[in-house]
Amino acid sequence: MAVLRKGGVVAFPTETVYGLGADAENERAVRRVFEIKGRPIGHPVIVHLSGESQIELWARNVPGTAYRLTEKFWPGPLTIVLRRSERASDVVTGSQDTVALRAPSHPLAHELLHAFGGGIIAPSANRFGSVSATRAEHVVADLGASVDLIVEGGDATIGVESTIVDLTQGEPAILRPGAVTREAISAALGVPVREGGSDVRVPGSLPSHYAPRARVELAENDVVAAGLANALRAQGSHVSVIGSDDVNALARDLYERLRAADREGVDAIVVVLPANEGLGVALRDRLRRAASPKR
Ligand code: TXA
Ligand code: MG
């Protein structure tokens, strides 16, 4: 925490993925996070808060829908996009008129935010373009010595990045699916919620984000996956197959399994897609990106 006050960079666990944190009001510290990740300036980051009492410090014209969602889903894996206040600088927001806010539920994240008092920007603690970190050892492997402090907090329990919902347009819109589903948000608000389609920039939604080094092939079921794997092996490829009937377990383990396949040096990873419902929507979104051709 003293590290954060001095403008340092701290990797810390959240329930979704590990974050690479810095004082959201210290522009130099925020820029260092971008440098360490190798992330282009101009990509907005999420400001993490200890709770909803801090929302109006960072946002203006906050709609009632924001509080209906935070009451139900905070602390937790939900990020809300609102009109920014002056406190939210251009480097944090990517010079947009909006700011993304989230209060994580992981006890160590909450403790850190509570003790620090201010907002902490925290993109996922991985190198830009690669798979997010769900264990402290992933942070060490990706960013190791360039981080001032790594808080060890075990494996991320959810394993996939937070849901992002834009509340600045007429109709709420999901910018990135996550553990809080569109249906759950719609039920909490009593209004329809759009899937994407907003004009807000979400660089996380660039194709080829979240990608391991190995080529990723997607299959709708076990039979198709086995066929794909056999065909690739017949060509001499070293193949690993990832799948699970338990969507929560798949989410929790997915990034580690993708990273493990890369560590083993496989040529191709065949993934059995979960059903397109609940957490499966988010997993299919990330897997589609992982499978899309690299730039
Ligand atoms: O679960 C998470 O959200 C993790 C943990 C560490 O909290 N953080 C995370 O941060 O995934 P990052 O930087 O890897 O992804 C943040 C996403 C990006 O896709 C970014 O474009 C989007 O949030 N974002 C940030 N500010 C935004 C804004 N004002 N409007 C729209 N999208 C925004
Ligand atoms: Mg990320």
What is the average per-residue pLDDT within 9-30? 98
Question: Based on the domain organization, do 185 and 112 belong to the same domain?
Answer: yes
Whether residues 102 and 188 fall in one domain: yes
- Residue 80, ligand 1, Cβ within 6 A: no
The yes-or-no verdict on residue 295 having pLDDT over 80 is no
Q: Is residue 92 lining ligand 1, measured as CB closer than 6 Å?
A: no
- 60 lies in the same domain as 172: yes
Distance CA 148, CA 68 (A): 37
User: From the CB of 175, is ligand 1 less than 6 Å away?
Assistant: yes
- Nearest atom of ligand 1 to the alpha carbon of 125: 6
Measure the CA–CA gap between 48 and 45, rounded to whole angstroms.
9
Global pTM reads: 0.96
| Ligand nearest to the CA of residue 58, numbered in listed order | 1
CA-based radius of gyration for the chain: 19
Residue 136 belongs to some domain of the structure = yes
The predicted model gives 13-27 an average pLDDT of: 98
Q: Which residues contact 104 (CB under 8 A, 6 or more apart)?
A: 14, 15, 16, 19, 48, 75, 76, 77, 110, 113
Rounded to the nearest whole angstrom, what is the distance from the C-alpha of residue 100 to the centroid of ligand 1? 7
Gap between the terminal Cα atoms of the chain: 38
88 shares its domain with 186: yes
DSSP for 197-261, please give it: --SS--GGGSTTTT--SSEEEEESSHHHHHHHHHHHHHTT--EEEE--S-HHHHHHHHHHHHHHH
If asked whether residues 38 and 91 sit together in one domain, one would say yes
Q: Is residue 106's pLDDT more than 90?
A: yes
pLDDT, tens digit, for every residue of 250-286? 999 999 999 999 999 999 999 999 999 999 999 999 9
Is residue 204 included in any domain, yes or no?
Answer: no
CA-closest candidate to residue 76, choices 57, 56, 51, 46: 51
pLDDT band at 294 (very low <50, low <70, confident <90, very high): low
In short, whether 96's Cβ falls inside 6 Å of ligand 1 is yes
Torsion sign across C-alpha atoms 283, 286, 289, 291: negative
Residue 44 CB–ligand 1 contact under 6 Å: yes
Q: Are residues 54 and 186 in the same domain?
A: yes
CA-closest candidate to residue 212, choices 294, 284, 280, 146? 294
Q: Which residues contact 187 (CB under 8 A, 6 or more apart)?
A: none
Tell me which residue range forms the domain holding 111: 2-195
Over residues 132-154, mean pLDDT = 96
Query: How many angstroms separate the CA atoms of 57 and 173, rounded?
Result: 23
Instruction: Output the CA 17–ligand 1 centroid distance in Å.
Output: 12
Residues 83 and 183 in one domain: yes
211: left (phi over 0), alpha (psi -120 to 50) or beta: beta
pLDDT at residue 293, rounded to an integer? 76
Identify residue 191 by its one-letter amino acid code. Answer: V
Burial of 128 (0-12, 13-18, 19+ CB in 10 A): middle
The answer, yes or no, to whether any atom of ligand 1 lies below 6 A from the CB of 126, is no
251 CB near ligand 1 (under 6 Å): no
CATH of the domain at 65: 3.90.870.10
Instruction: Give 250's Cβ-side CA count (13 Å radius).
Output: 22
Q: What is the mean pLDDT of the chain?
A: 95
Same domain, 171 and 286: no
What average pLDDT does the segment 148-174 reach?
97
100 Cβ contact list (under 8 Å, min separation 6): 44, 45, 46, 47, 79, 80, 81, 164
The verdict on residue 154 lying in a domain is yes
Question: How far, in Å, from the CA of 94 to the mean position of ligand 1?
Answer: 11
295 CA to centre of own chain: 21
Residue 229 tokens read as 């794997």
Give distance in angstroms: CA of 216 to centre of ligand 1. 24
Q: Over range 89-98, report the average pLDDT.
A: 98
Q: Within a domain: residue 200? A: no
Eight-class DSSP state of 146: G
State pLDDT tens for residues 177-230.
999 999 999 999 999 999 975 444 555 555 556 889 999 999 999 999 999 999
On whether both 221 and 119 belong to a single domain, the answer is no
**How many Å lie between the centroid of ligand 1 and the Cα of residue 46?**
5
72 has a pLDDT exceeding 90: yes
CATH number of the domain at 239, please.
Answer: 3.40.50.11030
Q: 215 alpha carbon to ligand 1 midpoint, in Å?
A: 25
Comparing 20 with 41, the larger pLDDT belongs to: 20
Q: Is the pLDDT at 164 greater than 70, yes or no?
A: yes
Q: Compare 135 and 201 and report the one with higher pLDDT.
A: 135
